[in-house]
Chain A
Amino acid sequence: MANVTLKNIRKNYDKTEVIHGVDLDINSGEFMVFVGPSGCGKSTLLRMIAGLEDITEGEISIGGEIVNKIIAAERGVAMVFQSYALYPHMTVFDNMAFALKQAKTPVDEIQRRVTEAAKILQIENLFERLPKQLSGGQRQRVAIGRAIVRDPKVFLFDEPLSNLDAALRVQTRIEIAKLHNQLTATMIYVTHDQVEAMTLADRIVVINQGIIEQVGTPVELYNSPKNQFVAEFIGSPKMNMINLQDKRSLNLKNLNLPSEASKIGIRPEHINLANHESHKLRGTVRHIENLGEHLLCYVNLEMNSEITAKLDVNSDIRVNEIINLKWHQDHQHFFDSMGFSLN
């Protein structure tokens, strides 16, 4: 267990800067998730912590020790890759034992640690198999097992679930969460999937275009996003942004509008149908998706904007119908013209 500290981290590829000064404290034993759209620099950041990318500027320390100049193998980190990256010519046992053999660990110690890790992941019966004889989920377990045997201070996960199918992804997600409770090691997890981030993380770091937009617990990010990017990125379907200029759609009465506000954000799940008198929003239904537990209703407003509303399955609405909508005041977010939250 160790804390990880990033101080003013910058990264250049040739002359293009892709990480623009990141400061971050990751506590010992914390499950930290880096989330952001693809190409935002989250993987680069993780790879810099792992020692696979040079650090152009700034300092990374693990457990209080600055690791900028320390090679990957000696940083006390273990990494689980998106593509599993198993050694195809080695058996499962050899794959898991490889790092220990490199470190010249005694044979019985290797045996003990590999068996222990395999027990945690329930892959003891696969020891003699080659990676090509395993299913995707089993390969991912072996990849995680390979990280566990090294008993690292910090686990690094680089989108480990993105190659699995939906059902397996949920299952493995739960297993990783359990693993974290069991091992109590510091874990850093990169994903572009905000559901993974919300479900796994102690804290989430939202990264966009090489800078940190916000750091906080899943609930904090959901309830009080600092800016429009975080607001739209966290939550699914994403938060609706309604331009306050759209006076024909919006009923601005009783909104407690801050003076600088230019947009109002409301999550689809906080929108309900309203009657003509109490409505705050009015628009034309363009499309309805029935998901069984609720309806996803796409509503066109004036000024060419579209919003999504998560409505009760029994709502009596039809396509092309003009409907009235409302939301609770506690669930509204105002943003200024720069996209910063005014709440």
Chain B
Amino acid sequence: MKKITLSSLFSQLLLLIFVIAWIAPTFGLFISSLRDKDVLAISGWWTSFATTEVNEIYRTEGKDAQVKEGDYYFIKSNLFGEDKGKQIFRFGVTSKNIDEYQVGESALFKDGTEITVLENGDYIWKSQEEFKKKKGKRVFVSAKSPPSFTLDNYKEVLFKEGLGQAFLNTFAVALPSTLIPLIICSFFAYALTWMKFYGRDILLATIIASLVVPLQMSLIPILTIYNDFGALFGVAAKSYPGIWMAHTGFGLASTTFLLWNFLKSLPQEMMEAAKVDGATHYDTFIKIVVPLSIPAFASIFILQFLWVWNDLLVGLVFLDKHPSEIILTAKLKELLGSRGENWEILTTGAFVSMTVPLFIFFSLQRYFIRGLVAGSIKG
């Protein structure tokens, strides 16, 4: 049994706080995205598991639905359209007194017609004369709403609001912008670590130094240069290759640095053994270094992918805002401006954009195993 010390208790506690601080909003976001948009607007996600009381307005059907039985005309239908599991306990027919009647009681409209509303939303509207209006009348209900979740928000967001397209666009940006620097930098880091050439140390120092240059500072100059070059070859100012290059450029220094750090840790004698065995640098890289670097590649892939996926600034600068190019973060920002009060769209959109990083992380994290080099050298 491990001894519980104050510091271990403290670290456990800290971990718990971190877990809660991360899980709670994520979970809330997820629940919210699954809730009905009307309920979402008036109550917090934590109330969604309990039955709540809601006041709602529905409209009855118009004259087209009437049937004549005996002397009376009837309209029989359900206020909710379909049974949603809500239980009505009071209802009213005027906005001044929305809970005037018990369920099952008959209420009188001003025009003398009579309506009876049942618990499940069924109503019978009775009139002595023929119904003449196309529109029905408003009915106010107070109902108990059981917990209910729906995928409607996802349908709406993905297919109607164009977030689905933005999702694909972000993929089109993120995948090449992650893979290109990874490929370039793995070669580069190998050369920096295991090849001897003049100026190697200066090159390395330059890379480390360039880590401190903030992206925001170099963004516009780079865009200008890119546009000037693009104009020379007739390439559009804003296009996917442009943003791929931009992300590659911004990721180059950190990716190289991280990989260099990892490659340095490979045993030197193993590299020498490969040399004696007749492997060129290229062979050594492909056949020995790459298979052993999978954990490093995976972690760098995650880092760079998340960075590109969550990026807004570079995406805004290097890509247009029309539907075929807009990225997820830019689209969300746009929705926030135009549909800021529609929480169901924002929560769902946010959760959609979160799923991919989560998926990437959980599917690659098994490569984070240490000790893949075990067995080459003593121990």
Question: Interface of A with B (CB < 8 Å)?
Answer: 50-52, 72-74, 77-79, 81-89, 98-99, 102-103, 130-134, 136, 139, 146, 150, 163
B276 at the interface (CB under 8 A from A): yes
- Contact call A84/B378, Cβ cutoff below 8 A: yes
Instruction: Give chain A residues whose Cβ lies under 8 Å from the Cβ of B375.
Output: 86, 88, 130-134, 139
Per the bound structure, the CA–CA distance linking A215 and B275 in Å amounts to 30
Closest to A158 in B: B269
Does B292 interact with chain A (Cβ within 8 Å)? Answer: yes
Question: Which residues of B239-263 have CB atoms within 8 Å of chain A's CB atoms?
Answer: none
Q: Which residues of chain A have C-beta atoms less than 8 A from B273's C-beta?
A: 79, 81, 85-87, 146
Write the residues of chain B forming the contact surface with A, with a CB cutoff of 8 angstroms: 267, 269-270, 272-279, 283, 287-288, 291-292, 372-378
Once the chains bind, are B378 and A163 in contact (CB under 8 Å)?
yes
CB-CB under 8 A from B270, the residues of chain A are 85-88
Q: Is the CB of A79 within 8 A of B376?
A: no
Q: What residues on A are CB-neighbors of B279 within 8 Å?
A: 73, 98, 102
A179–B372 Cα distance when bound, in Å, is 32
Assess A89 versus B277: contact at CB under 8 Å? Given A83-B378, A133-B375. Answer: no
Write the chain B residue with the least CB distance to A52. Answer: B272
Tell me if A81 and B278 are in contact (CB < 8 A). no
Which residue of the partner chain A has the closest CB to B275?
A: A72
- What's the nearest-Cβ distance from chain B to residue A319, in Å? 40
Whether A78 and B276, one on each chain, are in contact in the complex, defined by CB atoms closer than 8 angstroms, is yes
Would you list 19 pairs from A and B whose C-beta atoms are within 8 A, ordered by A residue? Answer: A72-B276, A73-B275, A73-B277, A74-B278, A77-B276, A78-B276, A79-B276, A83-B376, A84-B376, A85-B267, A86-B273, A87-B273, A87-B274, A88-B375, A89-B288, A89-B291, A102-B283, A103-B278, A132-B374
| Extra inter-chain contacts (12) besides given A73-B278, A86-B376, CB under 8 Å | A72-B276, A73-B277, A79-B273, A81-B272, A85-B269, A85-B376, A86-B375, A87-B273, A88-B373, A131-B375, A131-B376, A132-B374
A330–B267 Cα distance when bound, in Å, is: 50
CA of A136 to CA of B372, assembled, Å: 17
Collect the chain B residues with CB atoms within 8 Å of residue A163's CB.
Answer: 378
**Which residues of B have CB within 8 Å of A99?**
276-278
Complexed CA–CA distance, A136 and B376 (Å): 10
B291–chain A nearest beta-carbon distance, Å = 4
Residue contact A52 to B378, C-beta cutoff 8 Å: no
Closest to A104 in B: B278
CB nearest neighbor in B for A94: B287
Q: Which listed residue (B278, B291, B374, B377) contacts A83, Cβ 8 A?
A: B377
Q: Which residue of A lies closest to B376 (CB)?
A: A88
Q: Of B272, B273, B378, which is in contact with the most chain A CB atoms at under 10 Å from its CB?
A: B273
Of chain A, the residue at the smallest CB distance from B377 is A83
Contacts of A74 in B (CB 8 A): 278
Q: Nearest-CB distance from A89 to chain B (Å)? A: 4
Across-interface contacts of B291 in A (CB, < 8 A):
89
Assembled-state Cα–Cα distance A85/B275 (Å)? 12
* Given A79-B273, A102-B283, A85-B377 contact (CB < 8 Å): yes
Residue of A nearest to B373 (CB): A88
Which 9 pairs from chain A and chain B are nearest by CB? A132-B375, A131-B375, A73-B278, A83-B377, A99-B277, A85-B269, A102-B278, A85-B273, A163-B378
B270 CB → nearest A CB, Å: 4
With both beta carbons as reference points, the residue of chain A lying nearest to B271 in the complex is identified as A85
CB distance from B106 to the nearest CB of A (A): 82
Shortest CB distance A84–B (Å): 6
Among B278, B287, B288, B292, the most chain A Cβ lie within 10 Å of the Cβ of B278
B276 contacts across to A, CB distance below 8 A: 50-52, 72-73, 77-79, 99
Chain B positions within 8 Å of A85 at CB level: 267, 269-270, 272-273, 376-377
**Least CB distance, B21 to chain A, in whole angstroms:** 39
Interface centre among A88, A132, A133 (most CB of B within 10 A): A88
Q: Are A52 and B275 closer than 8 Å at their CB atoms?
A: yes
What separation, in Å, do the CA atoms of A78 and B292 have in the docked complex? Answer: 24
Q: Give bound CA distance, A131 to B287, whole Å.
A: 16
Residues of B within 8 A of A87 (CB): 270, 273-274, 288, 376
Q: In the complex, which residues of chain B have a beta carbon less than 8 angstroms from the beta carbon of A131?
A: 374-376
Cβ of B347 to closest chain A Cβ, rounded Å: 45
Chain A residue numbers with a CB within 8 Å of B274 are 87, 98
CA distance A222 to B372 in the complex (A): 46
B277 touches A98 (CB 8 A): yes
Q: Give the Cβ gap from A242 to chain B, nearest Cβ, in Å.
A: 41
A134 nearest CB neighbor, chain B only: B375
The residue on A at minimum CB distance from B378 is A163
Tell me which residues across on chain B come within 8 A of A150, comparing CB atoms. Answer: 277
- Asked if A82 and B269 sit within 8 Å, CB to CB, the answer is yes
Chain A residues whose CB sits within 8 angstroms of the CB of B272 once the complex forms: 52, 79, 81, 85
Interchain nearest-CB distance for A139 vs B (Å): 7
Report the separation of the CA atoms of residues A86 and B278 in the bound assembly, to the nearest whole angstrom. 15
Assembly CA distance A323 to B277 (angstroms):
60
Q: Which residue of B lies closest to A97 (CB)?
A: B277
A338–chain B nearest beta-carbon distance, Å: 39
**Contacts A77-B276, A78-B276, A79-B276 hold; do A88 and B378 have CB atoms under 8 A apart?**
no
Which B residues are CB-close (under 8 A) to A130?
375
B269-A83 in contact (CB<8A): yes
Cα separation A89 to B295 with both chains bound (whole Å): 13
Query: How far, in angstroms, from A50 to B372 measured CA to CA in the complex?
Result: 28
Taking CB atoms, residues of chain B closer than 8 Å to A83 are 267, 269, 376-378
User: By CB atoms of chain A within 10 A, which of B274, B372, B375, B378 has the most?
Assistant: B375
